[in-house]
Amino acid sequence: MPKIVDHEKRKRQIAEATWKVILEQGMEGATVRNIAKEAGLSLGALRYYFSTQDELFVYAMKLVKENATERINKIAASELPAFEKVMAILLEIVPIDAKTMAEMEVWFAYVFYTRHKEDIFAAKEDVIFRGMEKLLLYLRQHRVLRDGVDIEIETERLYALIDGLALHALLEPQRMDKERLVKVIEYHMQMICV
């Protein structure tokens, strides 16, 4: 009797192996051979799912993005008050636990790897920037944002803050731990909210 393979599950398994290799060996070590070995597959089996390394990377990064988006959508659909909802969403974007730390490390490695490869992934099409704008407009709509806050400038500032905190949390996790991340984001948000 032939073995039935769940192809989507197998692709996820390969993507997770890709993340693990990137975390342990960096993008330089994320060769198809190393990823196949980590996934417990032959090169041929891996190539059945992903014909090129770039195709595999794109899938693996889309999965990181989907995981984060799913968590954020759950928060967005919750009944939390506007300020708490925005805080919870912002805390999903910065690395505050082992899972989000790994996702962020893989994401940054990938973004730097692809910054000169326009053809494989639109890393410059940063949905986080647009997300910051949407969060600020949401706060304004719910009359939580202070009067006179310039949405365009504040979007840039909040984006820079979140991106910078994420990078510092990766580079200096002992200094920029969850408690400190929460305090810095909360402090900033309280300055622009009523």
Predicted pLDDT at 2: 61
| Average pLDDT, rounded, for the chain | 91
Q: Are 56 and 50 in contact (CB under 8 A)?
A: yes
Give CA 33 to chain center in angstroms.
25
The CATH T-level fold of domain 1-51 is Arc Repressor Mutant, subunit A (1.10.10)
Q: CA-to-CA distance for 9 and 15, rounded, in angstroms?
A: 10
Higher-scoring residue by pLDDT: 117, 6 = 6
Domain extents for the chain? 1-51, 65-192
What amino acid occupies position 133? E
**74-101 confidence digits (pLDDT tens):** 999 999 999 999 999 999 999 998 888 9
**165-193 confidence digits (pLDDT tens):** 999 999 999 999 999 999 999 999 999 99
Sign of CA dihedral 179, 161, 117, 131: positive
**31-74 confidence digits (pLDDT tens):** 999 999 999 999 999 999 999 888 898 899 888 889 999 999 99
Q: CA-to-CA distance for 77 and 61, rounded, in angstroms?
A: 24
The CATH number fitting domain 65-192, selected from 1.10.357.10, 3.40.50.720, 1.10.10.10, 2.40.50.140:
1.10.357.10
- pLDDT band for position 1 (cuts 50, 70, 90): low
